[in-house]
Structure 1
Amino acid sequence: MLLAAKFIIVVVAILHFYFLWLEMFAWTTKAKKVFRSFPEDLFEPTKTLAANQGLYNGFLAAGLVWSLLIQDSSWQVYVSLFFLGCVAIAGIYGAATASKKIFTVQALPALLGITFLLLHYFL
């Protein structure tokens, strides 16, 4: 279970590094292809807001990577659960307020990681 959890943590971290790049550096170019339902005329005016959002995604990714580098196994699980929990909550909120697709892309992988960590920790 621990290996599966770590794999999921890596996947979630990579996704959030991608979100960072997309929102901070490619908002007015590549993001238009990803966020097709977002009005095209709003990409430029919301560039700063997207960059701020991307920065937060980068912090989540950095926290997940950091969790994998912690030597103490208990603290590694605690920190992983914290950052996966943040991602899951953000994904659930995004699904409830913006797009249902956010649940599948963001919250579901984080919830899987949490499940694997808890199974490892309690079994």
Structure 2
Amino acid sequence: MHIAAQVLVALVALIHAYFLVLEMFLWDTARGRKVFGTTPAFSRESAPLAANQGLYNGFMAAGLVWSLIAGDPVAYQAQIFFLGCLIVAGVYGAATVNRKILLVQATPAAAALVLVLLAG
């Protein structure tokens, strides 16, 4: 159970590292506009906001990576904290921006949190 939990935590970290790249570096490109469904004008004007959002996703990924290399009890506590933050952010994003965020962000984090808690 512990290994499965760590693998899922790593996967969530990778997802959020990918969000960092999309939001910080690819936001105002054809790929970024396709992923987020934005127009060229909107992506150009909102690029600084997206980059800031991407940076926060990077911090979440970094926290999860730290939790994978730290020793217990810090690792366990950090995983609970960062996964909990991602779940809250995903639920809020789904309620205010796009329901897909619930599936892409909150669901993987929730699944990882369940495994982390079960592995205890």
In the superposition, the TM-score normalised over structure 1's length comes to 0.92
Shift of 1:3: 1.1
Residues in 1 aligned to 2:99 and 2:5: alpha-carbon distance in whole angstroms: 24
- Report the RMSD for the aligned CA atoms in angstroms: 1.0
CA deviation string 1:12-47 (max 9, x = no partner): 1111111001111111112111012x3442100001
Match of 2:76 in 1: 77
Rounded Cα–Cα distance in structure 2 between residues aligned with 1:2 and 1:75: 15
1:60 paired with 2:50, answer no
3-state DSSP class of the match of 1:43? helix
Instruction: Kindly provide the amino acid, as one letter, of the partner of residue 33 in structure 1.
Output: K
Match of 2:89 in 1: 90
Is residue 103 of structure 2 the alignment partner of residue 113 of structure 1? no
What runs of 5+ residues in structure 2 fail to find an aligned partner? none
Matched residue of 2:98: which SS? coil
Cα deviation, residue 76, structure 1 = 1.0
| Matched residue SS, 1:99 | coil
Instruction: Give the paired residue count.
Output: 119
| Equivalent in the alignment of 1:51 | 51
The one-character-per-residue Cα deviations of 1:90-122 (angstroms, maximum 9, x if unpaired) are 00111111111100100000001110111111x
TM-score normalised to structure 2 length: 0.95
Question: Structure 2: how far apart are the matches of 1:4 and 1:40?
Answer: 41
Alpha-carbon separation, structure 1, partners of 2:76 and 2:93: 25
Match of 1:18 in 2: 18
